Chain A
Amino acid sequence: MNGSPVIEVSNLMRQFGDRTVLKDISFNVDRGETLVIMGGSGCGKSTLLRHIIGSMKPTSGSVKIFGEEITTMSEREIERIRKRFGMLFQSGALLASLTVGENVALPLEQHTAKSPEEIEEAVEQKLKMVGLSGFEDLKPAEISGGMKKRVGLARALALDPELLFSDEPTSGLDPIMTAVVDQLTLKLTHGEHLTAVVVTHDMTSAFRIATRMIMLGHGSIVAQGTPGEIRNSSNPEVQQFINGEADGPIPLNLSQEEHEHHQQVKPRPFFSARYRFHRKTA
């Protein structure tokens, strides 16, 4: 088990109607690695993530997690796999009707036989880890966006997962908090052999945590390698992206169809606003 990759994606393809959103995606993630997936808006990052966690089924290709094929699994088998990984959503996705503490406790209450005291202790410890001790009794509506994200991280880590997925863990956080979250990820991957898959736009954070990087463009992999290889890549698209330049080979005009699809998959108001700004100044 230890030698085999935690995630194996091979020849993954997904079509919506006659539009190919993901094509021929193949990569492996080994235990203890931190894989960063980057790419522009609407390039299929979130769709790819949803295929890996089993909430979307590919048109063809295979996704194996912990050596088990997830694309053909029944809902119940997927649940068994899902107990072994944690996921941090872009917005935190906390349950608004529960307090911060109850949110973190939720996976423990549902999936473990721990006593209320043990759960309380575990919740306290996880919240301390993300720097939010003492916030247990607040509702998600009463804390800031960055705090919600950290609570989301605490909840993702509640079951001590072997694998962590993060969808833009640092967007909306201040630089100091970004560094804290990055250090936490590093500590977990180095100390506790957690495997992490992070989708991000934040290049500083990406280069800080990644052991390997994948850049997506138009549904396929443009480049992959270690942070060093990506930084020294001769591919102009990669250089444009990591240096954040407005001029370059990446087309700025999303076609109407692509734009609609992008909206449907996941609206990213913040990033698309930045996108429009670049287009104007280009």
Chain B
Amino acid sequence: MLRNYLRLNLSLLHWIFVAPFNGQFFKISPIFRQMVFIGTRATPMVALTAFSIGVTLAMQAAHSLQQMGAELYVPDLVMLSILRELGPILIAVIVIGRSCSAVAAELGTMKVSEEIEALEVMAINPIQYLVVPRFLAMMIMLPGLTIFGNYIGVVGGWAVCRFALNFNTAGFIMRAVESADTWDLYSGIIKSVVFAWIIITIACNAGLNVDGGAEGVGQATTASVVQGLLAMLVTNAILTGIFFFGA
């Protein structure tokens, strides 16, 4: 299993970085099609989730901080937690649930119905034809969605501050911008790039290694979601350790 996964990663790198220089360039149009599936269609869900989390976070923060008379710090807390942790994690969770399961099921069904073998016999490499567009689309869209979700989440925090805590908008922006560093934004985006890599390769690997009919496809779909989530959360802990606890 792990060997298959590493081999998939290696051939993916080969098809993206080496093969184009040997005249085997991947097609661009399927990447856009996948970007629509993975990214554009997830925006309403991402927006709703991020907004709710921003609102919830601000309400909880207000409740705790008010007791200490420190509700001034609500924007700081919302801003930092969303940019550093909640934004990248939650949006990765949504994309795992929406897209990784779909990719695993799609590739798994293709494997079961001999379509992958047919591609190989037609001298079309399944990694190049199927995995590369999905991988690149994910690498572009997950960070994109994360930036988008960050904005919406902060807007959620603003809504609570503005309408329940008597902040004015300028005050909220001032506090928020003052508290957050550009590094807070960048660290979140770096995380989402790493997550994108992990979750899409896990999903493709699960799909391509399906064995045994419809049942196998079901198992691969479940496995892609479970393994993707676990790998993503563990990686997040490691990255947070490196970014904010190291040195």
Chain A contacts to B: CB under 8 angstroms: 53, 55, 78-80, 82-83, 87, 89-91, 93-97, 106-107, 110-111, 155
B6 on the A face (CB < 8 A): no
User: B114 touches which one: A91, A97, A110, A111 (CB < 8 A)?
Assistant: A91
Digit string of B100-132 for contact with A (CB within 8 Å is 1, else 0)?
000000100110011101111111110001000
Q: Which residues of A contact B117 (CB under 8 A)?
A: 55, 89, 93
Q: Which residues of B contact A55 (CB under 8 A)?
A: 117, 120-121
Q: Is the Cβ of B113 less than 8 Å from the Cβ of A87?
A: no
Q: Which residues of A contact B115 (CB under 8 A)?
A: 93-96
User: B124 touches which one: A78, A91, A93, A106 (CB < 8 A)?
Assistant: A106
Q: Is the interface of B mostly helix, strand, loop or mixed?
A: helix
Q: Is the Cβ of B125 less than 8 Å from the Cβ of A79?
A: yes
A-B contact pairs, 19 of them (CB 8 A): A55-B117, A55-B121, A79-B125, A80-B123, A82-B120, A82-B121, A82-B123, A91-B114, A93-B113, A93-B114, A93-B115, A95-B110, A95-B115, A96-B109, A96-B115, A97-B106, A106-B122, A107-B122, A110-B129
User: A87 touches which one: B106, B110, B121 (CB < 8 A)?
Assistant: B121
Chain B contacts to A: CB under 8 angstroms: 106, 109-110, 113-115, 117-125, 129
Q: In the complex the two chains form, what is the Cα distance from A83 to B124 in whole Å?
A: 9
Q: Which residues of B contact A87 (CB under 8 A)?
A: 118, 121-122
Q: Which residues of B contact A97 (CB under 8 A)?
A: 106
Q: Is the Cβ of A53 less than 8 Å from the Cβ of B110?
A: no
Q: Which residues of A contact B110 (CB under 8 A)?
A: 95-96
Shortest CB distance B37–A (Å)? 11
Given contacts A95-B110, A95-B115, contact A110 B121 (CB under 8 A): no
Q: In the complex the two chains form, what is the Cα distance from A111 to B118 in whole Å?
A: 15
Shortest CB distance B129–A (Å)? 8
Q: Is the Cβ of A91 less than 8 Å from the Cβ of B113?
A: yes
**Shortest beta-carbon contacts, A-B, top 7:** A93-B118, A82-B123, A79-B123, A93-B114, A87-B121, A83-B123, A107-B122
Shortest CB distance A190–B (Å)? 25
Besides A87-B118, A94-B118, 7 new A-B residue pairs in contact (Cβ under 8 A), listed by A number: A55-B121, A82-B120, A82-B122, A87-B121, A93-B115, A96-B115, A106-B122
